[in-house]
A and B are shown apart, each in its own frame.
Chain A
């Protein structure tokens, strides 16, 4: 009996210490403001920004051997929450912090706009329509127009493919393309991933959706918005309104490796990579937005 108690006690101690060890595994950044940049940085959040942030981290670490940058996805909300609570050094987001977090928490965060990403209305390639006005787009997504013949196309049912209501892409599209109009609920299909959206649009007759420019290829057709094509030039000159900033949020002013990494992402060294990957560098933008 005594032995049993002894073994249980010992096991309990082991179990608790292991749990504690696992819990303590989180990375802590040890920043050094010396000339050579060292320390570790975690950037969590937006999956739209993730490929670009990963590329930047890789290039940054090649230059600064002592630096360790970790980039994780998880979504804009997760990124904002993590950085707000100190779980990550950088929170990546497609939307302003104030739209996701309670006001007092959003105020403690510092916004760094690292680049711009544009979105386009995409349809199935069989659809003959080339252009939609804002009102037509609102009527389609709010369920008023249900057939393509009402906007000058063939007699074909409109199939709306939405992103989930929590998606940053959907929020951006709703805000800048639909003027905040409530989308039809119970009529649209919902797909979580940009890749699945693209596949569904390409294969479903009459399908309409929206995608970030970095995802668009030949399998889907992009529509003009109010007669304006979704191109980099039209976005930078302010003619085409459906775009958003990609934000990197820090809690308070960034220091050390965190500051160096964010500076690197917006530096001229990295500009060409931003364009290559389908995003738009801030320096190209001739206009700006506050909200």
Chain B
């Protein structure tokens, strides 16, 4: 094990939790017990050294906490019979949690399937995934989402109750359900990454801890399911996007758009890994939306200068993506690519369809993109008006500052 203590604990957390749930069947209590065991390890291991079998140590401690918890419960409801097992009877016979059956790896996956269950709201799924599979503390998750710790604790505890009452067994989804459940997991991981990469609220543009956690978890899923194209696609997309992190903001925290970033600051290792991953995946056949987005990110990252960007290829990829998903944001980016290849009027023409679409009504991105294309077309006054409109619509302070500055600079430039 050449992992540092913290990484080792994060790696083991979902496996240990899986083993404890398998034995006791109570997701909610097991999760608390495992958190306590992780805390004990974090306190003791640096002092006394990592035990020979760290996973076994954690399971042992967590199981002891579970037993204590059950005893306390029994004492509290002396005359009641407790049905400890939430699992159906056919699953009550389970291997001893530390018998070393080859399920450790599966446990991480099953846990993710459980945390991202469709019965949960998205904020709940995100919080639960970070806490149970990511091993973040409630305080850390609360911080990341700028809500008080007590609120986050409540959100997590309600999510656990929800899983308990829905009676989802702790096992792999059936083949019939699997594709849908996997796409739910990928969506939650994508949202966590996005939240970390382009925080949509508050003054912080980047909360990199969340982006790192999303990459770590996606990497784990990719290692477990190496043949799933969309998993590889999502991991590549995250790596290729996150590679630009250092160039996205200036020292004051102001936003720097892609075409003005200092590309020497991009993380070459992340780019190579992402490109390698997406190239290998695209050659395998069935192509999904994450893979296409990763391919687009790769084209951007491959250009040494903004003017070297292969826009015809990006336009073609957005064309494919647009046919695959009915997402207005995709249509918006498609319009930008069209403007870069065929000139701004072509892009502005495509934006007209979005005006009637309704889903982007009042969304700042539509105004911001229109302003950008009008500026390209040389229509200064209209561009200024739309930049100002977008500045009033955005809910992000860095975005607002950027858009207002853009309008002011344009107004100051000679016509």
On whether the two chains bind one another, the answer is: no
State the A residues within 8 Å of B (CB).
Answer: none
State the B residues within 8 Å of A (CB).
Answer: none
